[in-house]
Structure 1
Amino acid sequence: MHKVRQELRGSGELLCGKNTLIRRAMMTFFNNLPYLEILMPVVRGNVAFVFTNDDLKEVRAKIVSNVVSAPARAGAIAPCDVIVHACNTGMEPGKTSFFQALGIPTKISRGTIEIVSDVHLIKTQSKVGASEATLLNMLNISPFTYGITVLHVYDQGTLFSPSILDITEEAFIGHFMAAVNNVSSISLALNYPTIVSVTHSLINAYKDVMAVSIASDYLFEATEKIKDMLENPDAYTVAVPVSAIVETATPQKEEPEEDDEDEDMGLSLFD
């Protein structure tokens, strides 16, 4: 808690106290600030308030980044799975029975106890037993981490889940554009003009005007060229240059000439 306060210094204030006193203090402001009533149901359990004017996403990151490791305690509810990996414990062989009671396979290696395989010791949301807690402390394992989690976000009279802060600006724009496209499609289908369908309506109307103009021979500047293209398509055909085909003669392999006379190796019988 103190680390979080130090981290929030200059960007926010962390306030915690008895829930009854917090609710009583909030009730005194209901007449002037009725929208605070929405916070009453969340003042339950071990909760605190963080007041800030900074970016909510950055403040939440500062809060959840401060976590501390904690050893397993008997009777506590495990927030996560605990797996003891295969390793040499460095303990003397006399404690083998302790591992056997927990169903952990071991062997004696170089005068010490060695865990043979990984063991799923504690499951999530299960109660930590005394034997499991003792074993983890003997192995110097602190399997759990504790910190402050953000449960709710309150802004301008609205209470919402902190998962809303994970939505990026690109996602907002994507959802907005999808909604605009849907509204535009519905407007065009119903022939009900809206601000998002005006552009499409103008384009469709212009296409209809051009079609009527060409069909009725009542031409204007924009349709004269289109009419001419329809009547004289050959005039607008792009000439494709004919590429000359060059035949390349494949070089023939030269056969080595055979000598009619044997080469004189300098070993004549008549020398």
Structure 2
Amino acid sequence: MGATRAQKEIYFIKLKELISKYPSIFIVNVDNVSSNQMHQIRVALRGKGVVLMGKNTMVRRALRTILSENPQFERLLPHVRGNIGFVFTDKDLKEVREIIVANKIAAPARAGAYAPKDVFALGIPTKIARGTIEISSEVQVVTAGSRIFDSGNAFAPEVLDIDEKVLIDRFMSGIQTIAAISLALNYPTVVSVTHSLVNSYKNLIALCLSTDYMFEGAQKAKEYLENPDAFAAVAAPAAAEAASAAVEAEVEEKAEEKEESDDDMGFGLFD
């Protein structure tokens, strides 16, 4: 039996409220999900997210009523197919995803059902070995798929598997690329200005070394080039002192270890 006009209006209002309140939406498959399991999922997500179910026809109609105010949700329409549900959230997406995944229960495969993971058919081809049929390779027959809708953009769930280190490394790689391009084009940007200042400082020192113009930083560089042995003589005592201190510390540590060993008197900790 289909929903009444009043039920549809209540559903449309509920959907609009959730969309306006929560910036992120998980689109989850609910094939073979029992009412008891759905209740457990709602309880597990309490305080973290809100589950909303509905027939696809009604969901699409509800989404179309808000497209004039929220055109970005048109990208959501192609994903409203099959047995799906929505989980609205404003919390950490990885944490909410872990809760959803933790409530999955294995179920027998059925024709036309959504595949939560890759499936391989083992037995193509086969060979006879010692009187039995032996599988010699695997063939992929189904590919997994799922979606996340966040602030008007649809993402595959694999984006949540990317850790912070990967994001930082990619971000730093982008910054380095921009800085290199900016320096090559002589076009200053926020990420290249530090390099430009350092390079300009080096150029000033080089200019001072080849002319009579001088400033404090260049004076030290000139003195080093004219008499590097003097700097080496100053640095040598400091290095020797540091090495001597390290040796003394090692000797003291060994002496302390010997004293502790002597105090044991041949007894263990629990004797």
Structure 2 CA distance for partners of 1:236 and 1:191, relative to 1, 3 Å: same
| Equivalent residue, structure 2, for 1:21 | 58
In the TM superposition, what whole-angstrom CA distance separates every residue of 1:42-62 from its partner, at most 9, and x where no partner exists?
A: 111111111122211111111
| Equivalent residue, structure 1, for 2:92 | 55
Structure 2 CA distance for partners of 1:211 and 1:14, relative to 1, 3 Å: same
How many residue pairs are counted as aligned between the two chains?
Answer: 192
> Take 2:111 and 2:227, find their aligned partners in 1: how far apart are those partners?
93
Structure 2 CA distance for partners of 1:233 and 1:11, relative to 1, 3 Å: closer
Structure 2 CA distance for partners of 1:192 and 1:55, relative to 1, 3 Å: same
> Take 1:75 and 1:28, find their aligned partners in 2: how far apart are those partners?
30
With normalisation by structure 2, the TM-score equals 0.58
1:98-137 superposed matches below 5 A: 125=141
Say whether residues 1:195 and 2:190 are aligned partners.
yes
1:210-229 superposed matches below 5 A: 210-229=205-224
Structure 2 CA distance for partners of 1:235 and 1:159, relative to 1, 3 Å: closer
Say whether residues 1:152 and 2:141 are aligned partners.
no
| Equivalent residue, structure 2, for 1:46 | 83
CA contact (8 A) 1:77 1:125 kept: no
Which AA in structure 2 matches 1:158? N
CA contact (8 A) 1:64 1:150 kept: no
Superposition misfits of 4+ residues, deviation over 6 angstroms: 72-79, 116-120
Which AA in structure 1 matches 2:60? R
SS in structure 2 at match of 1:207: helix
> Take 1:221 and 1:77, find their aligned partners in 2: how far apart are those partners?
73
With normalisation by structure 1, the TM-score equals 0.58
**Cα-Cα RMSD:** 3.7
SS in structure 2 at match of 1:238: helix
**Post-superposition offset of 1:152:** 1.5
CA contact (8 A) 1:60 1:150 kept: no
Which AA in structure 1 matches 2:174? A
| Greater C-alpha radius of gyration | 1
Greater fraction of residues in helix: 2
> Take 1:71 and 1:38, find their aligned partners in 2: how far apart are those partners?
32
SS in structure 2 at match of 1:153: strand
